[in-house]
Structure 1
Amino acid sequence: MRIGFSVPQFGPFADPHRTAGMCTALEALGCDSLWVADRLLSPLTPPEGYAGGKPMPVRYGTHLDPLLTLGLAASATERVRLGSSTLNALWQPPLVLARALTTLDLISRGRLDVGIGLGWMREEYTATGVPWRGRGARLEETLDVLEAVWRSATVAHAGPLWTISESTVLPNPVQKPRPPILLGGFTPFALERVGRRADGWLAASMPVPFFNGLWAVAVEAAERAGRDPAGLRRVFRVNADVTAAEAAPEETHHRGTVRQICDHLRTMCGEETDEVLVDLQLTTDSPDRFLDLAAEFVAELTGNSP
């Protein structure tokens, strides 16, 4: 099992200088990866589809740009993989996105994991002028453009949404043939796309029966596409709500003591390449407490806890 943490970037953690220092400290704990998230705005009225109509956490209204924050994390670390979980890929043209991601792969010396998805908030699409309808097809063509840019020095693309005349687009990323692409999503359509064309799935800690049903869709899609499902990575994100007292068993996929949450994560990680992503930004406002909790998670997941 590999261990990752969120890059501090929301609410009280939206301080670039503090974020850089915390990334250095998280790497020193021995984790394997650091991940940024992507939030563009936080509506004052509960957005459709969020937590049963509940208001969003106030801290989501204060945020650092995910790509610039990845650059900050790259400069503050030397070893850990750096990824996005999940970058909303459709808010900029794919050629522009490819250039930014290539630059990040170069800055990090080949440590970038490209985690992208569709997002879920209609208000963010409206604010960026991107149509909500047709976003699945838009993502498919975005992936086509990324592949074209990253696999060759000469790029040409003609699609329904974008046309790129035959051009030189350099430099290429450090990683060959391209940085790994992981896709988010929790619908059969999303999991089919993971199996058909991604390197892995940006999943979440969830009840195991629900996970098994979703993962079966990706496995079947990979097999139909002539791909080996065993080669697909899985990154299980948990927005941890750490409690002092034990939580109810049905809550431990996201809430409970450090040991309870880790026990559930261990039930989900069946392969050596599986990875957990622990986001601690909703459970504390304190940088010191954030790092102390991160150390507890590392100790528990590596078997080095007292």
Structure 2
Amino acid sequence: MRIGFSVPQFGPFADPGRAGALCTALEALGCHSLWVADRLLAPLTPPEGYPGGPMPARYGTHLDPLLALGVAAAATERVRLGSSTLNALWQPPLVLARALTTLDLISRGRLEVGLGLGWMREEYEAAAVPWQGRGARLEETLDVLEAVWRSGTVAHTGRLWTIPPSTVLPKPVQRPRPPLLLGGFTPFALERVGRRADGWLAASMPLPYFDGLWAVAREAAERAGRDPAALRRVFRVNAHVTTAEADPAETHQRGTVRQICDHLRTMCRADTDEVLVDLQLTTDSPEEFLDLAGRFTAELTGG
């Protein structure tokens, strides 16, 4: 099992200097990866669909995910650097490809490209991006990224975007491209993971729900002539850490450190599986963040 943590970027952690120092300290703990998330705004009227109840107020204070990842790249030397998830549709795909390529170069080939569609209609409206047709827009975005990252001349003609035959350099350090992971929790999203991605940006969840979704990805990979066993999984947990033991039905996201880790261990069944522990909603200071990160690392590694 690989262990990753969130890049500090929300609420009291939305400070580049503090984020850089914490990333250096998290790498020193021995984690495998660091991950950014993506929020544009926090509506004053609660949005529909936020998983797990009201949307946390601290999501209204945030650092840009790609710039925060640049801070993390400068503050570290070894860890992988990813996005879980970057909302792929809020900028033209050619612009997105340039930013991601630059991050792969800055980090010397440590980038994990994690993309998703998001869930909040208000953010799409604020970004002037259509809510309808998100899946088709993501498919063409992936087409453009692939075209830009391949060697040679770049060209694309699609329903939404056209790129004339052009030179687009430099290319990413990682060839043929950085690893591509996709988020989502619908059968359509998991079918796309199996057909197009290197893995799934999943979440800690009840096992029956997880098994049903993962079966969709595996079957889609087989239909596409791909090896399902090669697909990776990164299990995000927005940990709500308690001092007293929680109801066993809630331990996929809430409970003591040991309870949450026990559930994560039941989900991680392959050597390439990874957990992403986001501590920004359960801690308020760098000292508390690092202390809890150390406890999760010790519990998950047995050290």
TM-score range, shorter chain: over 0.9
* Cα distance in 2 for residues equivalent to 1:7 and 1:30: 15
Hey, what does 2:293 align to over in structure 1?
Answer: 294
SS in 2 for 1:276: strand
1:50 is displaced (CA, Å) by: 1.6
Hey, what does 2:220 align to over in structure 1?
Answer: 221
1:286 is displaced (CA, Å) by: 1.2
* Cα distance in 1 for residues equivalent to 2:296 and 2:208: 24
Hey, what does 2:17 align to over in structure 1?
Answer: 17
Hey, what does 1:8 align to over in structure 2?
Answer: 8
CA contact (8 A) 1:153 1:170 kept: no
- 1:254-293 alignment, distance < 5 Å: 254-293=253-292
| C-alpha RMSD of the superposition | 0.7
Hey, what does 1:138 align to over in structure 2?
Answer: 137
Q: For each residue in 1:127-182, what CA deviation from the matched residue of structure 2 results, as whole angstroms up to 9, or x when unmatched?
A: 01100000100000000000000012310000000000000000000000000000
TM-score by length of 2: 0.99
* Cα distance in 2 for residues equivalent to 1:13 and 1:85: 17
* Cα distance in 1 for residues equivalent to 2:116 and 2:21: 28
Q: For each residue in 1:33-92, what CA deviation from the matched residue of structure 2 results, as whole angstroms up to 9, or x when unmatched?
A: 00000000000001121247x432110000000000000000000000000000000000
Hey, what does 1:56 align to over in structure 2?
Answer: 55
* Cα distance in 1 for residues equivalent to 2:33 and 2:282: 20
User: Equivalent pairs: percent with the same residue?
Assistant: 85
Letter of the 2:230 partner, please give it: G
- 1:87-236 alignment, distance < 5 Å: 87-236=86-235
SS in 2 for 1:91: coil
Hey, what does 1:31 align to over in structure 2?
Answer: 31
SS in 2 for 1:90: coil
Q: For each residue in 1:181-216, what CA deviation from the matched residue of structure 2 results, as whole angstroms up to 9, or x when unmatched?
A: 000000000000000010000000000010000000
Hey, what does 1:43 align to over in structure 2?
Answer: 43
* Cα distance in 1 for residues equivalent to 2:54 and 2:200: 28
Letter of the 2:46 partner, please give it: P
SS in 2 for 1:170: coil
Hey, what does 1:244 align to over in structure 2?
Answer: 243
Hey, what does 1:86 align to over in structure 2?
Answer: 85
* Cα distance in 1 for residues equivalent to 2:55 and 2:196: 32
* Cα distance in 1 for residues equivalent to 2:77 and 2:51: 37
Q: For each residue in 1:102-125, what CA deviation from the matched residue of structure 2 results, as whole angstroms up to 9, or x when unmatched?
A: 000000000000000000000000
* Cα distance in 2 for residues equivalent to 1:291 and 1:10: 15
- Number of corresponding residues: 303
* Cα distance in 2 for residues equivalent to 1:171 and 1:50: 39
* Cα distance in 1 for residues equivalent to 2:65 and 2:51: 23
* Cα distance in 2 for residues equivalent to 1:24 and 1:242: 23
Long gaps (5+) in structure 1: none
Q: Which 4+ runs in 1 deviate beyond 2 A?
A: none
Q: For each residue in 1:228-249, what CA deviation from the matched residue of structure 2 results, as whole angstroms up to 9, or x when unmatched?
A: 0010000000000001111110
SS in 1 for 2:38: coil
* Cα distance in 2 for residues equivalent to 1:285 and 1:153: 48
CA contact (8 A) 1:155 1:166 kept: yes
Long gaps (5+) in structure 2: none
Letter of the 1:269 partner, please give it: C
* Cα distance in 2 for residues equivalent to 1:95 and 1:153: 16
Q: For each residue in 1:248-284, what CA deviation from the matched residue of structure 2 results, as whole angstroms up to 9, or x when unmatched?
A: 1001000111010000000000000000000000001
* Cα distance in 2 for residues equivalent to 1:3 and 1:111: 15
